């Protein structure tokens, strides 16, 4: 459907998002699983919002008491604004941490960046561990001194160390693309195939 709507026909699809964008990317992934639509060939997520329930608690949420980005009051406001209906304590479209093992078994190679000072960190760890226990191709990388949102700090007068996380993400995207091409090598264009020939000529059919 991308060809008539966007004018492109992608061979490889890598879905990426950070924070709430990571939550949305996982929702798209789950929707593709439920509808048997084409699934992304890889996922790259950064500090994704895995659990939107205000009733859930993990130790990393204590960072919200003095976090420079996600203070408790701001985090609560974001969750209340984001979730207008549904049950975030059970609905995996709202809180991907509640995906079932059967759903996770459909996941493509997945790469996830974590921030060590992030209130959302612990649920992401759980998600990575679940994928690993299911034998999925998953990797996680934690930047222990970084706060939530560190992708956005790779800017002039930002945090120069954050550039390393962006460069690492680019390497991971290249890795995911390469893995996809290994699984699904590109077809020859114009229906060209190699036919046995004494002259070893390429014939077009």
> SS3 sequence, the chain?
CHHHHHCCCCCCCEEEEECHHHHHHHHHHHHHHHHCCCCCCEEEEECCCCCCCCCCCCHHHHHHHCCCCCCHHHHHHHHHHHCCCCCCCCCCCCCHHHCCHHHHCCCCCEEEEEECCCCCHHHHHHHHHHHHHCCCCEEEEEECCCCCCHHHHCCCCCCCCHHHHHHHHHHHHHHHHHHHHHHCCCCCHHHEECCCCCCCCCEEC
Pair of tokens at residue 52:
């939107």
Spatial contact of 63 and 120, defined as CB atoms under 8 Å apart: no
- What pLDDT digit, counting tens, does each position of 110-134 carry? 999 999 999 999 999 999 999 999 9
Mean pLDDT of 73-85: 83
With pLDDT > 90 as the criterion, what percentage of the chain qualifies? 52
- Of residues 189 and 101, more confidence is placed in 101
Mean pLDDT of 62-76: 83
Backbone angles phi and psi of 6, in degrees to 5: -115, -10
Whole-model pTM?
0.81
Does 193 score more than 50 pLDDT? no
């Amino acid at each position: 459907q991308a060809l008539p709507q966007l004018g492109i026909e992608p061979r490889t699809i890598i879905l990426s998002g950070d924070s709430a964008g990571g939550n949305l990317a996982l929702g798209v992934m789950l929707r593709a699983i439920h509808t048997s639509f084409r699934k992304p060939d890889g996922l790259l997520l950064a500090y994704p919002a895995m659990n939107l329930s205000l009733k859930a608690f993990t130790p990393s949420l204590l960072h919200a008491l003095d976090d420079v980005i996600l203070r408790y009051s701001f985090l609560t406001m974001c969750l209340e604004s984001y979730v207008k209906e549904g049950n975030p304590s059970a609905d995996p479209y709202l809180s991907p941490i509640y995906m079932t093992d059967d759903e996770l078994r459909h996941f493509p190679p997945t790469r996830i960046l974590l921030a060590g000072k992030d209130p959302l960190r612990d649920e992401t760890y759980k998600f990575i561990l679940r994928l690993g226990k299911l034998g999925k191709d998953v990797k996680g990388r934690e930047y222990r001194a970084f706060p939530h949102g560190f992708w956005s700090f790779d800017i002039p007068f930002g945090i120069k160390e954050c550039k390393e996380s962006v460069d690492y993400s680019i390497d991971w995207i290249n890795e995911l693309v390469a893995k996809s091409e290994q699984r699904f090598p590109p077809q020859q264009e114009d229906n060209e195939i190699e036919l046995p020939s004494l002259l070893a000529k390429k014939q077009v059919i």
